[in-house]
Amino acid sequence: MSENTSAALPIVVIGAGPIGLAAAAQLLDRGLEPLVLEAGQTAGAAVREWSHVRLFSPWAEVTDPAAEKLLAPTGWVRPDGVAYPTGGDWAEQYLQPLADVLGERVRFGARVTGVSRTGRDRVVDADRDQQPFTVHIRYADGHEARILARAVIDASGTWATPSPLGGDGLPALGERAAADHVTYRVPDLKDPAVRARYAGKRTAIIGSGASAFTALAYLADLAKEAPGTHAVWILRRGITGSTFGGGASDQLPARGALGLAAKAAVDEGHADVVTGFRTTVVERSGDRLVLVGEDGRRLDPVDEVIGLTGFRPDLSFLDELRLGLDERLQAPVELAPLIDPNVHSCGTVYPHGVKELSHPEQGAYLVGMKSYGRAPTFLAMTGYEQVRSIAAALAGDQEAAERVELTLPETGVCGGAGLFDEPTAEQNEESGGCCATPATLPIGDTTTAPGGC
């Protein structure tokens, strides 16, 4: 295929979430043609799964400038910039209107099952960079298709691939068989059916981040109405001064309040704490579960388990591409040092763009949470800067691609006295994401609550 013909092809964006739709808006602003492929049936399908959650960041920090420009002719007005949206607000008031404006450039029910170079598997060198990408799709009705693309921007996120309960990064023995009593999400206890699942029950919560704080606070709130409701909070490490976050010293008071709510759940007897416990086996005991640790400890039976041990990228459908990924974080090799949770929190990650996001496979990019691999330090604002830079590079404006156009707010969202004072890899693996994972305050609390991006 000639270079001119390849240039006429669309740029495929995988995922119609906040960063994927922002990528489409940035590409259009540059005169490039995007095609967004979304496995779900709506814009922000993953965001809607935590629609009850309020973000840490206000409206002013979770909308993209190019997207706002695209929406303006429709009469759309950004909600109050200092207000904190829920996931549902974000999806309904911003993401869906943006997808509606993009129109047929967004295809729903279109799951990407593979990406490669036309006529080239990952082994073949000959004329590789001159070949367009081939993107294989399976639609919701079961039929399959192939689309040729000039470039591919993967903004599919990590929400669909939570980390397992096992302390070694693998599913604990028996974990899959116990799936009917295990969830990897903070439950929405406003839903009567979900509420009934935990009311009066004993629930194990595995994880030490904002999501775990939320689950503890939720169950403590439920315990006040449903006697017998109790949590067992399982930590892979011990209790330290930073276990409950920054508290009253947190740069974001609402986020600090979440840690204090979790501490109150423990102090008031609604939750027991088990430290230094790494799950290796999940055993059935009638209708209940028994968790067994690598040190041989067997915990008392529980009715339910909530695993909040972080997320990881699904790279399976990118297997035929030549990606340069860090061996620990599974993030682009040049980006990994900038987001390493051993060194950085959300507020200290330097804005970055096409240079740090490039791979040996020219024209293929991972963006948003997907680009961070297993690191939990992602901000929506950072993702918007990523796709602005990539769109500029694809349009041939290298100067704009290399220019930094983002100044993070001084408070950051995980900077300073955040979730961890000096996070370690061990803290990261069970944090559930300090910025990437949404979290809320106890049910009924109308205070601005911390959450995801």
Closest CA to 416 of 340, 348, 349: 348
Strand, coil or helix: what is 185? coil
Q: Tally Cβ neighbours within 10 Å of residue 407.
A: 9
pLDDT of residue 86: 92
Let me know: does 98 contact 43? Beta carbons within 8 Å: yes
pLDDT of residue 347: 55
417-437 confidence digits (pLDDT tens)? 222 222 333 334 444 433 433
pLDDT of residue 426: 37
Q: Where are the alpha helices (DSSP H) in 8-79?
A: 18-29, 45-48, 65-71
3-160+311-402 under CATH 3.10.20.30, yes or no: no
- Checking DSSP bridges between strand 34-38 and strand 110-117, what pairing results, if any? unpaired
pLDDT of residue 447: 33
Q: What is the domain partition of the chain in residue ranges?
A: 3-160+311-402, 179-309+419-431
pLDDT of residue 4: 54
pLDDT of residue 378: 86
Domains 3-160+311-402 and 179-309+419-431 share a fold: yes
Ranges of residues in the chain whose predicted pLDDT is under 70 = 1-5, 241-243, 245-256, 344-349, 408-453
pLDDT of residue 376: 83
Q: What is the 8-class DSSP label of residue 298? A: B
179-309+419-431 under CATH 3.40.630.30, yes or no: no
pLDDT of residue 452: 40
Closest CA to 204 of 235, 245, 234, 176: 234
Task: Count the alpha carbons within 13 Å of 229 in the hemisphere toward its beta carbon.
Answer: 21
Q: What is the 8-class DSSP label of residue 238? A: -
pLDDT of residue 210: 81
Quote the tokens at residue 164.
Answer: 């397992």
Let me know: does 383 contact 368? Beta carbons within 8 Å: yes
pLDDT of residue 408: 65
Tokens 């993702």 belong to: 383
- The model's pTM: 0.88
Question: What distance in Å separates the CA atoms of residue 227 and residue 230, rounded to the nearest whole number?
Answer: 9
Q: What percentage of the chain carries pLDDT values higher than 70?
A: 84
